[in-house]
Structure 1
Amino acid sequence: MSRVVTVRRTAAALVTAALLVPLAACGNDDAKKDGAEKPGGSVPKANLTVLAASSLTDVFKKAAAVYEKDHPGTKVNFSFAGSQELAAQVREGSPADALVTADTKTMDSLSKADHGRPTVIAKNRLVIATGEGNPKKIASLKDLTDSKLKVVLAAAEVPVGRYSKQVLDAQKLKVKAVSQEPNVRAVLSKVEMGEADAGLVYTTDAATAPKKVDAIDIPDAQNAIASYPAATLKTSEHAKAAEAFVKWLSSPEAQKILQDAGFQKP
């Protein structure tokens, strides 16, 4: 009789084990879904602060919404300004996790002790922004030399101001600006409000105000290409999360968002 009980117990144990195997497998799959294999699962939760060039204002807000959805628990906050101003903030030790400038020169001006290795995430080019309908009939860079026009440019220390000077100097054109602005959005704003007849801005900035400004193309041979490097900051208190966000900016998902906004491939 005891032998029969033993056999029954053994059979029951085998059946139980067989049932537990698929359950264990399911448990592992669920763990993967909730962990590293789930979007953002391997990225520590954090409240990130990213210093970013003014020309990235609209597109980065869209990118952040997508990133936060895919990485629950992570919040991306931006501080937008001219790249030179952002670099000054880094030098002064302002708390932040990552930096994205509108040129490599500004990024390179910082000490390597300030940031990680930069990666170019996008490129841009200049256009002439005019009032809606181009009332002054501006067609080329040369037209900007007309003393009757009110032209606004960014200051020379600002990336877009430096690019503007580069393209004008290359064509040996002298443009007397009625004002020199601290960032590209300030240039665009002057044209939008009718305080200037024209200004040099990035393609992507003009695209944010299609009902207020017209964008006059500048031929490639006369244009300048802006590069946008991104890097983590050594002062970050969320190093892994910051690294994950900067790396994501080069992903197909982020690149589509940037290129849909008019930015060029890196």
Structure 2
Amino acid sequence: MRILRRTAPPVAAVSAALLLLAGCGDDDSDDKPTGASGAPSAGAPAAAEPSTITVLAAASLTEAFNEASTVYTNNHKDQTVKFSFAGSQELAAQVKQGAPADVIATADTKTMDGLTGEVNAPQVFAANRLTIIVPAGNPKNVTSLADLARGDLTVVLAGPTVPVGRYARESLTKAGVDVKPKSEETDVKAVVTRVRMGEADAGIVYTTDASAAGKDVTSVEIPEQFNVVASYPVAVIKDSGKQGPANAFTRWLLTPEAQQVLAKYGFVAP
């Protein structure tokens, strides 16, 4: 009887089969999500960008708010703050016209009161006082409010609808002084510029703006009985689509951290 023996397949045939199987496994590799070492998978969430709020702020807040913004965003990485500075009356007009903004901070409560229908409940976060400014060195020897009525002086004030202009007239009335300004400026910074450039001999501004002008001007104190306290309210604009971040910023203005920045520039706590 013949015995039939089963012979092993040749090595070359086995190798070919293995290669064929490996090739089949590679065909669906593109359908699998890429691992940590490759490109991110299609469903990976993108990093959230910071929420930016726009704050309309009185011109006298320029220096203080620019620093406050840095302090605020350093501790609120998910938020950024963009400012637009101008006279309070101009900012109020922008809000009434529907300008895209989230917060408004004015240099008086009267202007804010006129925005009752456009803003949420305001809160006062700072206060300020008035001072006379003259060119550096006080060349005309101005020592009091009474001097501003002198015929040899060129005096500039902010316009009567501008908070600092209204406060200045109130202060002059308290002192019984009648002043006819050479020009009526749109905000407190414009008054400072006139005096700094030598275009005026004197003007009435906030103490904070006199301080910000540094050595370019000399400040002449207005006595307490003739001075006026300016209150600064802030409010969230009702039409803002960022109520959460806007409210967070306005609340922060009353914190010790924010008040310390404001105090650095001469503002006092409300």
TM-score by length of 2: 0.81
Instruction: Return the match for 1:65 from 64, 70, 73.
Output: 70
Matched, 1:215 2:215: no
Partner residue of 2:228? 224
| Partner Cα separation in structure 1 for residue 183 and residue 235 of structure 2 | 32
Q: SS where residue 209 of structure 2 aligns?
A: helix
Deviations 1:96-124 (A, max 9, x none): 0000000000000113x311111101000
Question: Tell me, which stretches of 5 or more residues in structure 1 are unaligned?
Answer: 1-43
Q: Which amino acid aligns with 2:153?
A: L
Partner residue of 2:249? 245
Deviation at 1:73, TM superposition (A): 2.8
Instruction: Return the match for 1:201 from 205, 208, 212.
Output: 205
- The aligned runs of 1:181-192 (5 Å cut-off) are 181-192=185-196
What's the C-alpha RMSD, in Å, of the aligned pairs?
1.0
Partner residue of 1:264? 268
Q: SS where residue 69 of structure 2 aligns?
A: helix
Q: How many residues align?
A: 222
Partner residue of 2:15? none
Matched, 1:107 2:115: no
| Partner Cα separation in structure 1 for residue 222 and residue 200 of structure 2 | 19
Q: Which amino acid aligns with 1:144?
A: L
| Partner Cα separation in structure 1 for residue 169 and residue 51 of structure 2 | 40
Q: SS where residue 207 of structure 1 aligns?
A: helix
Instruction: Return the match for 2:150 from 146, 152, 174.
Output: 146
Partner residue of 1:80? 85
Matched, 1:55 2:60: yes
Q: SS where residue 211 of structure 1 aligns?
A: helix
| Partner Cα separation in structure 1 for residue 70 and residue 243 of structure 2 | 21
The structure with the largest alpha-carbon Rg is 2
| Partner Cα separation in structure 2 for residue 196 and residue 79 of structure 1 | 27
| Partner Cα separation in structure 1 for residue 211 and residue 94 of structure 2 | 28
Deviation at 1:130, TM superposition (A): 0.5
| Partner Cα separation in structure 2 for residue 157 and residue 148 of structure 1 | 27
Partner residue of 1:120? 124
Deviation at 1:54, TM superposition (A): 0.3
Deviation at 1:134, TM superposition (A): 0.8
Name segments (4+ residues, structure 1) moved above 3 Å.
Answer: none
Identity %: 51
Q: SS where residue 212 of structure 2 aligns?
A: coil
TM-score by length of 1: 0.82
Deviation at 1:94, TM superposition (A): 0.5
Q: SS where residue 182 of structure 2 aligns?
A: strand
Deviation at 1:72, TM superposition (A): 0.8
Matched, 1:159 2:163: yes
| Partner Cα separation in structure 1 for residue 120 and residue 229 of structure 2 | 24
1:45–1:241 Cα contact (<8 Å) kept: no
| Partner Cα separation in structure 1 for residue 241 and residue 198 of structure 2 | 44
Q: Which amino acid aligns with 1:253?
A: E
| Partner Cα separation in structure 2 for residue 79 and residue 222 of structure 1 | 32
